[in-house]
Amino acid sequence: MKAVHFGAGNIGRGFIGQLLHQSGYDLVFADVADTLVDEINRRGRYRVCILGESMQTESVTGVRAVRLHSPECVDHVVDADVVTTAVGVGNLDAVAGVLAEAIRRRAASGRGGYQNVLACENALYATHRLKQAVWARLDAPTRNFAEEYVGFANVAVDRIAPNHRPAVGTEPLDAFVEPFFEWDVERGALKGDVKIHGVHLVDDLGPYLERKLFLLNGAHAILAYIGYLAGCWTIDEAARDGRAADTARGAQAEVAAALARKYEHTFTEADVAAYADRVFERFRNPHLGDEVVRVGRDPVRKLGPEDRLVAPLRLCRTYGLPTDHLVTGIAAAYRFDHPGDAQAQRLQESIRKQGIESTVRSVSCLQDEDLVGAVVKAYERLVDLKRTSR
């Protein structure tokens, strides 16, 4: 069995790659970073470092890497049984070009056997987006071939992989992760019998996608943004800060009530609340050293209408539920001005030129006057938190 994974970063190596290796796949990484590709090929192995009470390590051996746009990359994808990604949803189009060429070659050769594609991104239905980008590059006969032989399964992935590295005893390719992980995959979209260690097959992925994106990624972002304004450096520090913790936990409670209503046949409110509690305990892990500026990076994407902050806000609004904490978290994201983040600087430039109200409308696509007004008021209130902390 062979797997190609696009994106050899911490999640790629420390989560997806680890499980593919444990499942017996011949593992090939594809990445755009020449130095990373060269280092993987030079060493042929790396360690996954699990940060709990003590650091546990696991070796992933026999790995190779190719440059994403190289002929070798296409060759490996042609032969792959499983193709996975962890590149960021904005970079899936580059993967689509390689995948489309590989499918064309498989179709032209009359090659049998199934191939399955799983986009492991922090976004709703990322594999569906990738499939659409691939389909746009294929003619009708090749699409017919792909419909029969290539599965595109949406997934929900969950593992925190910080940039933190201990000062001593590390290797260049070490990937640092928390102990917990979850990988949910929609069963009906897979072709053939796919066995990957740790994967949880579900018939309806929607509830799991939204639960994870809203209650984990959303609360994580709110901790980062309020924590940044409050002068915190790491997520575990923010989780101990009263204002940041109260806002994130309050937002989780607001979203949990909405998810329990929307998916009443999948989750009870107690189920969702228990999930939120477990998530927050993971944020308190002091061994991760996860910086708030890493979690908060790229606020423009995270403030988008279908992402982790605004989508749950709209869901709560649908059911007439409170949204005060979500609104505060969103307002804090609009105040994220980290100088090392190009998207944060772009956001601040928009606010300076257009004003906060127009920026909220354009970035988050909010048209509801009450919601826009609430975000603007919360944004103005947060200036006092920033002044006293930074």
Tens digits of residue pLDDT in 11-21: 999 999 999 99
Q: Residues 150-165: what's their mean pLDDT? A: 91
**pLDDT tens-digit series, residues 203-236:** 999 999 999 999 999 999 999 999 999 999 999 9
Give the start-to-end residue ranges of the domains of the chain. 2-203, 207-389
pLDDT at 164 exceeding the cut of 80: no
Q: Look over the chain and give the mean of its residue pLDDT values, rounded to a whole number.
A: 95
In the structure encoding, which two tokens stand for residue 293, read together? 């500026």
Segment 245-286, tens digit of pLDDT: 999 999 999 999 999 999 999 999 899 999 999 999 999 999
* Predicted pLDDT of residue 258: 97
Mean pLDDT confidence for 303-319: 97
Percent of the chain with pLDDT over 70: 98
Q: What is the mean pLDDT of residues 20-48?
A: 97
Length of the chain: 390
Query: Is 207-389 the same fold as 2-203?
Result: no
**Whether the Cβ atoms of residue 243 and residue 381 lie closer than 8 Å to each other:** no
Quick one: average pLDDT of 352-371? Answer: 96
Mean pLDDT of 113-132: 96
Confidence of residue 111 (pLDDT cuts 50, 70, 90): confident
Residue with structure tokens 């937002």? 251
Strand duo 82-85 + 115-119: pairing: parallel
Please determine, looking at this structure, whether the domain spanning 2-203 carries the CATH number 3.40.50.720: yes
- Antiparallel, parallel or unpaired: β 2-6 and 82-85: parallel
Residue 389 clears pLDDT 70, i.e. is over it: no
**Can you give the pLDDT at residue 387?**
47
The larger pLDDT score, comparing residue 163 to residue 204, is at: 204
Angstrom CA distances, 341 to 294, 298, 299, stand at 9, 7, 9
Does the domain formed by 207-389 have CATH 1.10.1040.10? yes
Number of H helices, E strands in the chain: 20, 12
Q: Where are the alpha helices (DSSP H) in the chain?
A: 10-11, 18-22, 34-43, 71-79, 92-108, 126-135, 140-149, 206-212, 219-229, 235-240, 242-262, 269-283, 292-296, 299-302, 310-318, 324-334, 342-354, 356-364, 369-381, 383-389
> Comparing C-alpha atoms, which of 197, 173, 183 is closest to residue 61?
173
pLDDT at 168: 59
DSSP assignment of 159-201 equals ----S---SSS--TT-EEE-S--EEEEEGGG--S----TTEEE
d(CA 226, CA 171): 33
Q: What are 256's two structure tokens?
A: 């949990």
pLDDT the model gives residue 390: 47
For position 386, what pLDDT does the model report? 62
Using a cut of 0.85, tell me whether the model's pTM lies above it: yes
What is the pLDDT at residue 170?
A: 82
Overall average pLDDT of the 309-314 stretch: 98
Beta-bridge mates of residue 156: 184
Is the pLDDT reported for residue 22 higher than 50?
yes
- The first and second tokens of residue 281, run together, are 């305990």
Residue 167 has pLDDT above 80, yes or no: no
> What's the rounded Cα separation, in Å, for the pair 279 and 300?
24
HSE-up (13 A, CA, CB side) for residue 16: 29
Confidence of residue 163 (pLDDT cuts 50, 70, 90): confident
